Amino acid sequence: MKKLQTMDQFENLKKEERVVFMFSANWCPDCRVIEPILPDIEANYPEYQFIYVDRDDFIDLCIELDVFGIPSFIAYHSGEEAGRFVSKVRKTQEEIETFLNSLSV
């Protein structure tokens, strides 16, 4: 999964056809739990570009997007928010895939 480097990159990426931003942090135990399943999720959803957003590096972005719990996911289609799975609760592969399947393509 690519890692977000700059705010300009975020603004450009969200304009692409289908992108999912995963908000996380190295110190987050629930985020570490889902790390092993992320490659499978990416493989199962090749129509999406997945971008890792380090919450500590982009705290202002998290505040702007109301991302106060991690791990969290926000999807964009061509510049518009398509859906969000934002909470501080641990997520399973099934829950993440249900979220992705709920996005209008």
CA distances from 88 to 6, 29, 69 (A): 24, 11, 4
All domains in the chain, ordered by first residue: 2-102 (3.40.30.10)
Q: What is the pLDDT of residues 11-52, one digit of tens each?
A: 999 999 999 999 999 999 999 999 999 999 999 999 999 999
Say if residues 51 and 1 touch (Cβ distance below 8 Å): yes
What's the mean per-residue pLDDT of the chain?
Answer: 94
Question: What pLDDT score was predicted for residue 87?
Answer: 84
Say if residues 35 and 24 touch (Cβ distance below 8 Å): no
Are β-strands 19-24 and 72-77 bridged in parallel, bridged antiparallel, or unpaired?
antiparallel
Say if residues 47 and 18 touch (Cβ distance below 8 Å): yes
User: How would residue 105 be classed by pLDDT, with cut points 50, 70 and 90?
Assistant: low
Look at the pTM and tell me if it is higher than 0.85: yes
How far, in Å, CA of 48 to CA of 75, rounded? 9
